[in-house]
Copies of this chain bind each other. A is one copy, B any other.
Amino acid sequence: MISSAILDQRMEHFRARCAELGLAYTHQRMIIYRALASSDSHPTPEGIFEQVRREIPSISLGTVYKNIHTFTEAGLLREVNLLHDSLRLDANLGNHHHFVCVRCKAVTDIPEKDVAPLRLKHPLPDGFVLHRAAAELLGVCASCAASEPDLQTGSS
């Protein structure tokens, strides 16, 4: 759960951003975004749907999906798993990092030694057991950057 101060701040940002982009401030959108903003458990669309349903029984799953998409485009939301479209496989069993292109979703291996060692400065929450760790680098790959110079600034 999220503190109510942070929630208020997020909802205010949401309201402002809707106005900025000319997005209609509908009841459904407000409830959907509040469900997202008050969670720190990285819910699925289905999970949001279930929660929103308690307040708006007539809500449809399609509306939830459409708005998640809208919010993501508006920069109000991020996908935790950029590569969720389809399974991606790796036969390289050694430690290495991944660079994921946000445009074309290509994954490029980055050798372990090219990144400063991942080190926990604080222990994990009680009872958590770490198996392994890697860096996920997000950006634009060379061929996408070449084909769309705007992307090179990192200001999307």
Chain A interface (Cβ < 8 Å from any Cβ of B): 10, 33, 36-37, 39-46, 48, 68, 72, 75-81, 83-93, 98-99, 102, 106-111, 113-122, 124-143, 145-146, 151-152, 154, 156
Instruction: List, sorted by A's number, 25 A–B pairs whose CB atoms are closer than 8 Å.
Output: A36-B91, A42-B90, A45-B86, A68-B87, A75-B93, A76-B93, A77-B91, A78-B89, A78-B90, A79-B87, A79-B90, A80-B107, A81-B83, A81-B87, A83-B84, A84-B87, A99-B130, A108-B128, A114-B120, A116-B118, A116-B120, A124-B139, A129-B145, A129-B154, A131-B139
* Chain B residues, CB < 8 A from A43: 88-89
What's the minimum C-beta distance from A25 to chain B, rounded to whole angstroms? Answer: 17
Q: Most chain-B CB neighbours within 10 Å: which of A40, A113, A129, A133?
A: A129
User: How far, in angstroms, from A75 to B83 measured CA to CA in the complex?
Assistant: 21
What's the minimum C-beta distance from A136 to chain B, rounded to whole angstroms? Answer: 5
* Chain B residues, CB < 8 A from A91: 10, 33, 36-37, 39, 76-78
* Chain B residues, CB < 8 A from A39: 91
- Beyond A36-B89, A45-B87, is A128–B113 a contact (Cβ under 8 Å)? no
